[in-house]
Structure 1
Amino acid sequence: MAKGDDAIMRKKNRHNRKRVRSSESAVSARAAAIIASKRRRKAGQRRICEGMCYTLPTPDDPYNERHGKKEPEKNKKKKSKDNPSEKQNQKKMLVGSGENLLEQSCPSKFLIVCLNAIKNAWREEGELEEGDISSWGLDLWRCCSNGLSNVLDTSGSCGTREQIAWTVSVVSDIIARKEKQGILVSSPYLLYIVPTQEKAVQVRSICKPLKALGIHAVSLHPGASIQHQLRGLKSCEPEFLISTPGRLLELISLKAVDISSVSLLVIDGLGIGCSEEMKYADKLNSIKETITSNPHVMVFSNHCDQMAALAHNLLGGPITRLSLNDSVTSRSAFISQNVHHCASQEQKIAKIQEILLQSMRDEGKLTKMLLVMKSESKNELTASLLNLENCTISNTSSSGSFSLHHREKVMRVVVKDKQSLQLDKVENFEMVLVADLPSAIEEYVEILTRIARHSVTGVLHSIFCQADAHLTKSLIDLLTECKQAVPQFLMDFDSLVDL
């Protein structure tokens, strides 16, 4: 045995002898534990397991991790300073009943991830982005975050690649957030209707990068056999379903696909069906009737007036208008412009009466119209309306607003002059009558492009007099650009001005 081991053994034996000698006068184990516990209490130290015995949990310290000790004042002050900013930056979360999206103050990280996945796929394929449409995408996202209202886009006949990328990314974010909140998501959640096979292939290729993020898309079109598509539908439950109207109705008749619980219906290329309007309209209406879950609708349409009735039938109630460009043609889509002629200022009151009565006959039981005219003509108009046959006026106010009653129909007329007219309020009216044209055509365009922002169709009436002859050329060009009928009297005025 080495010398070092001997030394260790001697030291250990000496320690054992001392312990035996001291144990003769020592207290019992129970008394020693009590003494040790008392010393720990006096020293402010105790075991973690004894924490709940000495101190009850509080709202600030529910798990008693601080063992009854107060939080340092420095930390309290620091937290009180940070709380207001945390509340401002905190995202607003509003859980809906399954139809509304969770409301947020800024786009989520998952939405940006979806967009980047699609754009990275474009770069790998050597395709360049056509332009930055982030402002359009944020407007679409705001519509979704406010409850996903129906959307009408009049930028062109079909949605661009960037618009489709934003649309599917926003919907993917909706699905991800609903699943995170434990809300059951229907399959398919999005039904994307396209006019042609080529458009279906394009939309499917844009959705393809989202598969790695858990979003599956299936395209249905006449280019593939129906048996192949039947096997594909049975093998998965896609979140996105992209289809042409004819092939979708064929699969529905075979009970191969169920779209009754679709939450969002996107109709891309509405104006392309103008050549076969009735046939195309019947197919879309049949698809809309098959969906029993009252889906939200988004329509990409051109400025074809023949599609106004179909778009109104598909979209229904309050909508949000979106457009990639600020052109007058795009912003005034589906808004009718009617220019009336008066030989003198004295005939204006009679013409206003005629327009009001005609509008009451054409419109429904409850109608609202904005009347823009000079302030000095308000009282004269109200007095003249009191003498109308088969028509009564009520609810008059100092501002000149009143209600007209004609048989069972009621029209609320809000009268404003140019000084008190607020352009941001014009968007709440579907019917506007400009009794006195502005001095510049830009003011007329401003009113035109703000009408019916929350409805599909709108009507703008205007009264043209001899004093407005300087607007003849501009008004003709505007009507021609918007594909509206140009009255003959405007053409006559234009020829006289040229002379």
Structure 2
Amino acid sequence: MGKTQEYLTKKRNKAARKRLSNTIDFTRGVQAAKRRRKAGRRRICEGMCFSLPTPEDPFNDSYKEHLASEKPQKSQKPKSSGITKGSKSSNVESNNEKERVRTSKASIESSLLGSITIQQSSAKNDVTIEPRCPNYECSSRQHQTLSIDNLRVKWKPNCGKCLMKDNSWTCIGDDAFEVAICALLKAKIIKIDNHEKIVREKSMPLRQYINKLDWMFWEACGKGSDILATGRITGMPTHISNVLAVVGHMGQRIGKQIHGKCPLVLLLVHSKEQALEVRSIFRLLKSQLGIHAVSLHTGTPLEHQIKGLDCTEFDVLVATPERLDELLSINAVSISNISLMIVDGLEDMALSGLSDYLLNIKRKASNNVQTIVSSRAFLPETYHICRKLLQDPICRVISDSSMSQSCACISQNVHVLVSEDKRNQKLQKILSHHIGSREKSISSGSGILVLFQHLQSLLHVKGTIQKDYTVGVLCVNDLNEDSQSAHLIREQFRKGQIDVLLATEDCISQIDLSSVSLIVLHEFTANIESYCKILTTMARFTINGVLYTFCSGATAPLASQLIDVLHKCLQPIPPPLKMLADAAKVVVEKKG
């Protein structure tokens, strides 16, 4: 190779490197290699890199054709105007040229910062940010640090631009969620049962072939509220749904140009195997979306992970709670900038004794981080963990309408109180405790609903508590005689203007229980079906649901059925209720 050809090759390589240097992945790779080289921890493949000859290319000449195809066109130089190199005017022109380059760079940076469009809605923390730049590997990945306090990222799942071409799914748009779905379908990580039918009929409604539960989960994630997902084992694997939720979230975060040294998303898993599995899915999506994920688990030495975190930049952090808490305690990593935290498998973590680690991690994250908690079932021991991880209002995603899933994280407190005076005293304690705690908290909501079977008991309780609390009364006579006044009472209760709403059991169908977080059954319901209906329809948007039930001697025939409901919901069964059920069983045997 002559000197001229060598010079041209070096020039072409330099132009190629300059062109590649604009991408964020190339910059990260160069910086990581530089850190490893300085630290003396260079990889084996970085010692000597060369291509082996093949029968098709025995002399390794294929790179010449590749370079020739990338040969840049020569730009025509302006003709000289007869001014010498050392003249004063040439220096003025060079200074003008430098100033022009400097102003162009400043204009580019200002346009990048000005490309963020924020549309604030009337609700608090409801901010939708639309990116102008759809390319996730373009200059929008610059290290712009913007405040994310009081911001909740919103996005909408869609797969309308996922088309079937050459027996494989292809995305014709640039939406991150759609690109990720097509990539996972092409890699056969997501499998569709009717794939052959779709190919044969050339029909492309991809959404109807995806499990309805997973789509409900993604729509809930896109709203920006905290999520309580229960029993998600019938759809696609939970970690795949979580990865796609992260991709949709990251598509908006990257488009908003919020990027820095800290990770943007935190995904907590139970074991090392789950961390590696989730990491492998993100590695598949990295080349197409530019999302870089790092996994941390106890299967790797702590010193190695500390050095690795110091040498790399990443967007998603997949970690086990104990290892992440250990790294946070020594400030090896920071999660102050994350806007999404997913806890995958809370039941397994709680049974393994990782609850304290979860709470420590939550304390070090932002107060407004969107949190998703998923588990096969929620034990009463995990209720306090969920109430510290999640913030109202929440979205519930359940795989079926079973009793155990519908009433997840709703505490059922059953008290056997034979006399009416004791029931009234217990009610007074409940009202004073919960209304006092509600006044101390900033969050506002509906008051306490107390249900009665008999109108006489309702009027007696009203006379004792109306001096201390704002009381509303709703009975069948009110609904029949004056529907407008009944509607006004329901609206005042819904807005929190009434502390206590006293109602008969016949009016339960006229009250929206989805926003009621605390209900007291002053007398047990006439049948177990009414109790189950109240339990499965209350507290749909809150994590602090509580149902108090007062049982008397008249509840004995239904005590065994109530015990079955508590057993299905994994709730503790009080000994007095067992005694009441045993007594009713003895009476039935004697009659028989």
TM-score by shorter chain over 0.5: yes
Distance across 1 between alignment mates of 2:244 and 2:388: 27
Answering whether residue 129 of structure 2 is matched by residue 95 of structure 1, we say yes
Whether 1:150 and 2:226 are equivalent positions in the alignment is yes
Q: What are the superposed Cα offsets for residues 221-264 of structure 1, whole Å, 9 maximum, x if unpaired?
A: 12223454345434542221111122223333454322221111
Give matches, 1:350-369, under 5 Å: 350-363=421-434, 365-367=436-438, 368-369=447-448
Greater mean deviation of Cα atoms: 443-452 or 332-341: 332-341
Kindly indicate whether the alpha-carbon contact (under 8 Å) linking 2:435 and 2:499 is maintained by their aligned counterparts in 1. Answer: no
Q: Residue 423 and residue 395 in structure 1: after superposition, are their counterparts in 2 closer, same or farther (change >3 A)?
A: closer
Q: CA deviation at 1:201?
A: 1.9
Contact conserved, 1:164 with 1:206, CA < 8 A, in 2? no
Which of 313, 333, 345 does residue 269 from structure 1 map onto?
A: 345
Q: Choose the corresponding residue for 1:220, options 296, 299, 304.
A: 296
The match for 1:443 is 530
Give the aligned CA root-mean-square deviation in angstroms.
3.8
Say whether 1:174 aligns with 2:249: yes
| CA distance in 1 between partners of 2:221 and 2:341 (Å) | 13
* Equivalent of residue 295 in structure 1, options 352, 357, 369: 369
Contact conserved, 2:341 with 2:370, CA < 8 A, in 1?
A: yes
Shift of 1:381: 2.9
Contact 2:231/2:405, CA 8 A, preserved across alignment: yes
Q: 1:453 to 1:284 in 2, by over 3 A?
A: same
Structure 2 partner of 1:204: 279
Q: Distance in 2 between matches of 1:124 and 1:94?
A: 30
Contact 1:188–1:241 (CA under 8 A) maintained in structure 2: yes
Going from structure 1 to structure 2, the CA distance change for 1:452 and 1:394 (only over 3 Å counts) comes to closer
Task: Report deviation, 1:192.
Answer: 1.0
Q: For residues 276-297 of structure 1, what are the alpha-carbon distances to aligned partners after superposition, in whole Å with 9 as ceiling and x for unaligned?
A: 64xx333222222222463121
Matching residue of 1:324: 399
Aligned partner (choices 434, 455, 464) of residue 376 of structure 1? 455
Superposition deviation, residue 181 in structure 1? 4.9
Deviation at residue 183 of structure 1 after TM alignment: 5.0
CA contact (8 A) 1:370 1:416 kept: yes
CA contact (8 A) 1:423 1:450 kept: no
Q: Answer with 1 or 2: which has the greater Rg.
A: 1
Within the alignment, does 1:137 sit opposite 2:214 as a pair?
yes
1:477 partner amino acid: D
Match of 2:359 among 285, 303, 316: 285
Structure 2 counterpart of 1:271, which letter?
A: E
Q: Which amino acid aligns with 1:474?
A: Q
Asked whether the 8 Å contact 1:371–1:434 carries over to 2, the reply is: yes
Describe the superposition over 1:153-212 as per-residue Cα deviations: whole angstroms up to 9, x where unpaired: 2327x9986332222212212222343355557741111112221221232233333223
2:322 alignment partner, one of 246, 249, 254: 246
| Structure 1 contact 133–324 (Cα < 8 Å) conserved | no
Counterpart contact for 1:340–1:464, Cα < 8 Å? yes
| Equivalent in 183, 191, 194 of residue 269 of structure 2 | 194
CA spacing shift, 1:395–1:356, aligned 2, 3 Å? same
Local SS of the residue matching 2:507:
coil
What is the deviation of 1:480? 2.0
- Tell me the CA shift for residue 219 of structure 1: 0.8
TM-score by length of 2: 0.57
1:20-48 superposed Cα distances (whole Å, 9 cap, x missing partner): xxxxxxxxxxxxxxxxxxxxxxxxxxxxx
**In structure 2, how many angstroms separate the alpha carbons of the residues matched to 1:395 and 1:173?**
45
C-alpha deviation, 1:342, in angstroms:
5.4
Aligned to 1:163: 238
Q: Which whole-Å CA distance do the structure 1 matches of 2:265 and 2:531 have between them?
A: 40
Structure 2: runs of 5+ lacking an equivalent:
1-126, 131-146, 162-174, 196-207, 439-446, 476-488, 491-496
Distance 1:328 1:355 in 2: 27
Inter-CA distance 424–197: structure 2 relative to 1 (3 Å threshold): farther
Q: 1:124/1:168 Cα in 2 relative to 1: closer, same or farther (>3 Å)?
A: closer
Greater than 6 Å deviation, 4+ residue runs: 124-129
SS in 1 for 2:541: coil
User: Sequence identity of aligned pairs in percent?
Assistant: 26
Q: 1:395/1:303 Cα in 2 relative to 1: closer, same or farther (>3 Å)? A: closer
Letter in 2 for 1:95: I
Find the counterpart in structure 1 of residue 187 from structure 2.
121
Following superposition, the deviation at residue 132 of structure 1 comes to 7.8
Task: Flag the 1:465–1:154 CA change in 2: closer, same or farther, 3 A.
Answer: same
Matched, 1:492 2:492: no
Equivalent residues of 2:152, 2:368 under 8 A apart: no
Q: Following the alignment from structure 1 to structure 2, what is the Cα–Cα distance between the partners of residues 124 and 219?
A: 22
DSSP-derived class of the 2:227 partner: strand
Amino acid of the residue matched to residue 152 of structure 2?
N
Q: Report the more deviating stretch, 211-220 or 96-105.
A: 96-105
Checking the alignment, whether the CA contact within 8 Å between 2:469 and 2:500 is kept in structure 1 is: no
In the TM superposition, what whole-angstrom CA distance separates every residue of 1:88-118 from its partner, at most 9, and x where no partner exists?
A: xxxxx94388533345595675323323422
Q: Please give the alpha-carbon distance, in whole angstroms, between the structure 2 residues aligned to 1:127 and 1:379.
A: 56
Change (3 A) 1:179 1:399: same
Q: Deviations over 1:113-148 (max 9, x none)?
A: 32342244345999999x9873333333333333x1
1:426 corresponds in structure 2 to: 513
TM-score normalised over the length of structure 1 = 0.67
- CA distance change for structure 1 residues 481 and 397 in 2, over 3 Å: closer, same or farther? closer
Aligned to 1:392, what secondary structure does the other structure show? coil
3-state SS, counterpart of residue 211 of structure 1: helix
Q: Distance in 1 between matches of 2:449 and 2:472?
A: 15
In the aligned structure 2, how far is the partner of 1:324 from the partner of 1:482?
15
SS in 2 for 1:372: strand
Taking structure 1 as reference, are residues 282 and 178 closer, same or farther at Cα in structure 2, changes over 3 Å only?
closer
Q: Which stretches in structure 1 are left out of the alignment for 5+ residues?
A: 1-92, 403-409
